[in-house]
Amino acid sequence: MTPLERQGMAAKAAAYVLATAGTEPKNYALEAISSLLLQRQGDWLEANAQDLARAQAQGMRPALLDRLALTPERIAAIASSVRQVEALPDPTGRSTHTETRPNGLVISRRTVPLGVVAIIYEARPNVTVDAAVLCLKSGNACILRGGKEAIRSNQAVVEIMREALEETGLPADCVSLVQDTSRESASELMHLDQYVDVLIPRGGPGLIRTVAKEASVPVIRTGEGVCHVYIDREADPDMGAKILCNAKCSRPSVCNATECVLVHREIAGTFWPKALPLLEKYRTELRCDAPSLALLDGWGGIPAQEEDWDTEYGDCTLAVRMVDSTEEAIRFINAHGTGHSECIVTNNYFTAQRFLNEVDAAAVYVNASTRFTDGGEFGLGAEIGISTQKLHARGPMGLGELTSWKYVVYGEGQIRN
């Protein structure tokens, strides 16, 4: 048995205990984690300082260093988010579809944890706590495989969480960290079919695609976001400009940021004078198709390449395209979008309905920024990621999406004819 197989086996055993532990012990554990994170923040900060020093020495970019860095304020925010998850309702143990069948069998469908959830992610140490507590609250054991840049920080915080679990009488193995951060360990985790019930990759598009392609365990693809805003012929140009600027520039590194605007030919002349001043504040680079370029040439537009229609920029770059109809916009979005978040700006009721019905994405918007696709904004309380696949979960994944179900059947000796 390899170390990872042993870890998988231990996680599975812990998952069985956790699945039937009930809500109170899980909440006690979350409370203990929150307290111990604050009490022992010195250990976590010290480990993080080691990660930061090494990363700096290796020339990590300032933006990435900032994502890796912990501060007492950040730890306080993380500890408080653990309490928020504690306050959410337990998603397991809910019975639906309860029915007495003609033969007297009483059948109901009961929500249960998935079992063992594995998460492969990159350099943000807050994800370690986020993911672990969402899994715990939903009754799942988790195997965390973070990036090598954050290994010390992750080791320290996982140690704290395991201690808190033991303190409250739950198995420490409900939360464990893959100590080996090589590619091989990630690959082995993707094939740990016997122990892993679902694998959620969190990170850049490269990571997601590799995992989806390579893994034999069930995977939920998250966070691939080539999102669009479509400015309809009957849009309010001011509203369209504000929504587009928010969707593109308010936080361009996240997956619900928009990458491409489609503008109806008949409104382009009135829309762009409203939008350009807003986008210029963020020095937005406009990559335009030929008809848009003719309009925006003097305004810093440059020609788009074919790959621009499928690129998640992650910065203030915007692909710009002119369309002749709502139908063309919908077709383009369904061909080039990643099924994340798509928006139409329009005053026309029927155009809006058509867009909502025909666009194939996790979240479809009329007259609102794509940036709202988020577990907190959608009222799910917290999220472990935003699914861009249709299987199991779509859009923000809250606690409910970390469950499965079982059919519970009460009989009195029934046999089948």
CB contact at 8 A, 234 and 283: no
Q: Which is nearer to its own copies, 37 or 362 (CB)?
A: 362
Closest distance between its own copies and the C-beta of residue 350, in Å? 13
Q: Is 205 in the site for its own copies (CB under 8 A)?
A: no
Closest distance between its own copies and the C-beta of residue 167, in Å? 24
Gap between the Cα atoms of 339 and 394, Å rounded: 9
Local structure of residue 222 (DSSP, 8 states): B
Stretch that binds its own copies, among 83-91, 267-275, 316-324, 359-367 (CB under 8 A): 359-367
Gap between the Cα atoms of 50 and 38, Å rounded: 19
Gap between the Cα atoms of 77 and 31, Å rounded: 14
**Residue numbers 364-393 binding its own copies by CB under 8 A:** 364-369, 371-373, 377-379, 389-392
Gap between the Cα atoms of 390 and 86, Å rounded: 28
Local structure of residue 176 (DSSP, 8 states): E
Selected from 39, 89, 95, 101, the binder of its own copies by CB under 8 A is: 101
Q: Is 416 in the site for its own copies (CB under 8 A)?
A: yes
Gap between the Cα atoms of 131 and 175, Å rounded: 10
Region of 220 please: left (phi>0), alpha (psi -120 to 50) or beta. Answer: beta
**Residue numbers 143-202 binding its own copies by CB under 8 A:** 193, 197-198
Q: Which is nearer to its own copies, 77 or 105 (CB)?
A: 105
Q: What length is written for the chain?
A: 417
Where b means 16+ CB within 10 Å and e means fewer, 126-146 reads bbbbbbbbbbbbbbbbbbbbb
Q: Is 332 in the site for its own copies (CB under 8 A)?
A: no
Stretch that binds its own copies, among 26-34, 58-66, 98-106, 171-179 (CB under 8 A): 98-106
Q: Is 394 in the site for its own copies (CB under 8 A)?
A: yes
Which segments of 20-117 does DSSP mark as H helices, in order?
23-39, 41-57, 62-68, 72-87
Closest distance between its own copies and the C-beta of residue 416, in Å? 4
Q: At what angle do helices 205-214 and 183-190 cross, to 10 degrees?
A: 50
Q: Is 282 in the site for its own copies (CB under 8 A)?
A: no
Selected from 3, 5, 6, 20, the binder of its own copies by CB under 8 A is: 20
**Residue numbers 241-280 binding its own copies by CB under 8 A:** 242-243, 246-247, 250
Residue numbers at the binding site for its own copies (CB under 8 A): 16, 19-20, 97, 99, 101, 105, 107, 109, 112, 114-115, 193, 197-198, 212-213, 216, 218-220, 236, 239, 242-243, 246-247, 250, 334, 356-358, 360-369, 371-373, 377-379, 389-392, 394-396, 404-417
